[in-house]
Amino acid sequence: MAVTLREVAQRAGVSRSAVSRTFTPGASVSARTRAKVEEAAAELGYSPNALASSLTTGRTKLIGLVSNNFHNPIFLEVFDLFTRTLQERGLKPLLVNLTDETEAANSVRMLRAYSVDGVIVASSTLPPNFAVAFREAGIPVVHSFGRRSDAPDVHVIGIDNVECGRMAARTLAERGYRTVGFLGGPEEATSTQDRLAGFVEECARIGLNCTHSFADAYSFAAGRAEMLRLVAESPAEAYFCGDDVLSIGALSAIREAGLRVPDNIGLIGLNDMEMAGWENISLTTIKQPLSEIIGASVDRVVQMLDAPALPPRCDIFRCEIVERGTLRAPS
């Protein structure tokens, strides 16, 4: 059976409240008492009960990690980084799947039931009102991979998706492509809208002929299905797919059609997930700095635990082109 706080108190010759204070961050306890308690705890193999501690401190140290696209392999990397970073800070991640959830109020009720101390919304496709709903419920919230804004309603940490669209257009132009296409994710996603807006704007500025279409989801199957439709008609010379997993689906479709990448059709993605660098894929892409975004998101939510009224701000990280094999060389 688990060693109890009472047994530690008896072994150390102190009160139970002294043991509780020893294992409560910020609580007052003398150095002599702390040493006696820690020695007794080590001898007995005692570990503090996190749930009991939360009753004393008023904090559970639970951070809700909310997302909705569990079919995109990039989120394996995202969740790995988030959970490890939170745990390194002494916090406990609570992963919540909001796939197919349309009501922000439902997610608020769910997270409230677990008494989370804060929430990180890790999604570029959930509507902004999801993060706002947590703020209005009085729960500290950070929207990671959210939409850039000069006056955000909540803390946003991510990238400039409009600029990523511009980067993709310039990269295609540098390689001599003149008829190009945008193959985006779900049309209603703000990330899709912004990447398309930047792409179309820059294509118009530098004189590229530009078309656009949308996949049903940020998934391999959706990217593949949309590219199969495109190659059966009159495909562009190159595509900005708006996401690596869409690009890999498109790559599969192009090869099935008997065409070659980049000889017949060029591809550029966005994210630089691990699979993009696999030898049989070798995807040229726009790298999103995941570790920096996630580190900053955890730092911000930790700040908000002590300062819930911290004014919302938007922190944007720069992206860069990663050269591989799905675009021809610059002309």
Say if residue 188 is in the same domain as residue 101.
no
On whether residue 121 sits in a domain, the answer given is: yes
Say if residue 195 is in the same domain as residue 151.
no
Say if residue 211 is in the same domain as residue 270.
yes
Say if residue 88 is in the same domain as residue 156.
yes
- Number of structural domains, the chain? 3
SS3 (DSSP) at 155: strand
On whether residue 246 sits in a domain, the answer given is: yes
On whether residue 323 sits in a domain, the answer given is: no
Say if residue 131 is in the same domain as residue 89.
yes
On whether residue 143 sits in a domain, the answer given is: yes
Residue 111 has a pLDDT of 87
Task: Specify the DSSP class assigned to residue 41.
Answer: H
SS3 (DSSP) at 304: helix
Say if residue 87 is in the same domain as residue 226.
no
Residue 144 has a pLDDT of 97
Residue 53 has a pLDDT of 54
Residue 296 has a pLDDT of 97
Say if residue 221 is in the same domain as residue 78.
no
Assign 3-class secondary structure to the chain: CCCCHHHHHHHHCCCHHHHHHHCCCCCCCCHHHHHHHHHHHHHHCCCCCHHHHHHHHCCCCEEEEEECCCCCCHHHHHHHHHHHHHHHCCCEEEEEECCCCCCHHHHHHHHHHCCCCEEEEECCCCCHHHHHHHHHCCCCEEEECCCCCCCCCCEEEEECHHHHHHHHHHHHHHCCCCEEEEEECCCCCHHHHHHHHHHHHHHHHHCCEEEEEECCCCCHHHHHHHHHHHHCCCCCCEEECCCHHHHHHHHHHHHHCCCCCCCCCEEEEEECCHHHHCCCCCCCEEECCHHHHHHHHHHHHHHHHHCCCCCCCEEEECCEEECCCCCCCCC
Q: Residue 233's domain spans which residues?
A: 161-288
Say if residue 170 is in the same domain as residue 284.
yes
CATH of the domain at 32: 1.10.260.40
Say if residue 180 is in the same domain as residue 197.
yes
Along the 331 residues of the chain, how does pLDDT read in single tens digits? 667 778 888 988 998 888 878 877 667 888 898 898 888 888 888 776 655 555 455 578 899 999 887 878 898 999 999 999 999 998 999 988 887 777 888 888 888 888 899 999 998 888 888 899 999 999 999 999 999 999 999 999 999 999 999 999 999 999 999 999 999 999 999 999 999 999 999 999 999 999 999 999 899 999 999 999 999 999 999 999 999 999 999 999 999 999 999 999 999 999 999 999 999 999 999 999 999 999 999 999 999 998 988 999 999 999 999 999 999 998 7
Say if residue 137 is in the same domain as residue 43.
no
On whether residue 324 sits in a domain, the answer given is: no
Residue 140 has a pLDDT of 95
On whether residue 57 sits in a domain, the answer given is: no
Say if residue 80 is in the same domain as residue 224.
no
CA dist 219 and 314 (Å) reads: 28
pTM metric for this prediction? 0.83
On whether residue 200 sits in a domain, the answer given is: yes
CATH of the domain at 189: 3.40.50.2300
On whether residue 55 sits in a domain, the answer given is: no
Say if residue 172 is in the same domain as residue 29.
no
CA dist 19 and 42 (Å) reads: 13
Residue 55 has a pLDDT of 47
